[in-house]
Amino acid sequence: MLDLADLHRHLDGSLRRSTFRELAAAIGHEAPDDLRFFAGMGLDDALACFVHTLAVLQTPATVERVAREICEDAAADGVTTLEIRFAPQLHRGAPPAAIVDAALAGLDGRAGLLLCGLYGEDPAILEGLVDIAASRPGIVGIDLAGGPAGEHTFHLEDYAAPYRRAAELGLGRTVHAGEGRPPEEIRIAIEVLGAQRIGHGTTLLGDPAVTELVLERGVTIEACPTSNVHVGAIARVQDHPLKRWLALGIKACVCTDNPFFSHVTSSSELGVAERELGLDPAAITQVLANGHAAAFSRR
């Protein structure tokens, strides 16, 4: 079995289905029978699905349990380098620090933890997450998740200050950018926020200058092919630019994003890359090496 790497996996999108049903029943939460993403549903509708998983993950105990089970499931799938990310401010059954500590207890050193700010949030919220991370070495990085919306008061550039502080603390920095949106978003994430990795980045090749920037800075792209089809960032998995990225020397790895909603595993996504995108054994080896090498660690 290959040693797999998954650097982009959301805690609230990675529950076991049996655990979700159990936790939902315990609080009387009703959800669609087949709660899952589907091709072309769009990012807004995909994000709306999280209301159901977040509903059952409001307490430290449930967060710890799901974090533990994610690690168990990833290990069983052959994942040896794993990072989990979530936005503790959305789990309101305890203060964010207590929610973070619960996640760390569940991970128990088996995965790095990333804390997510959300597009449109007051940057002070992300500042607070960086404060929490400062004293907890199990937190290896920060992220900005979700996507921009017209009604947002705060824009991508407004998160530069917490990203600078994260860099000073030795935290890794990644940003959801270019997820079917203009590649200018990727440029801002790298040049203004200091992102070392980019989540999704499907439009990267749309601007040669941004492509060159990614190559010059050695930025790693967290590719999530099935998820990208689901949110409509690409029309078909065969259209994913991963193979072209690798041919250009861009560092890219394959990740799951939200196994619960997309019905994927790390090994199945690697299979998609091999079968649907035509990655040969050398390219698969490179993808895995990129993932292991790009994992964040506290310096």
Edge to edge, the sheet with strand 4-10 lists 4-10, 79-86, 112-118, 139-145, 172-177, 197-200, 220-223, 251-254
Considering the candidates 64, 121, 179, 222, report the single residue annotated as catalytic: 179
Assign 132 to helix, strand or coil: helix
237 alpha carbon, distance to own chain's centre:
18
**What fold is seen in the domain 4-294?**
TIM Barrel (3.20.20)
- Residue type present at position 85: R
Active-site annotation holds for 179: yes
Q: What is the mean pLDDT of each run of 10 residues along the chain (299 residues)?
A: 94 97 96 90 92 97 98 98 98 97 98 98 98 97 95 96 98 97 98 98 98 98 97 95 98 98 97 96 97 89
CA dihedral 270, 295, 90, 36 (to 10 degrees): 0
Specify the pLDDT at position 299. Answer: 55
> How large is the angle between the packed helices 60-76 and 96-107, nearest 10 degrees?
30
Domain ranges of the chain: 4-294
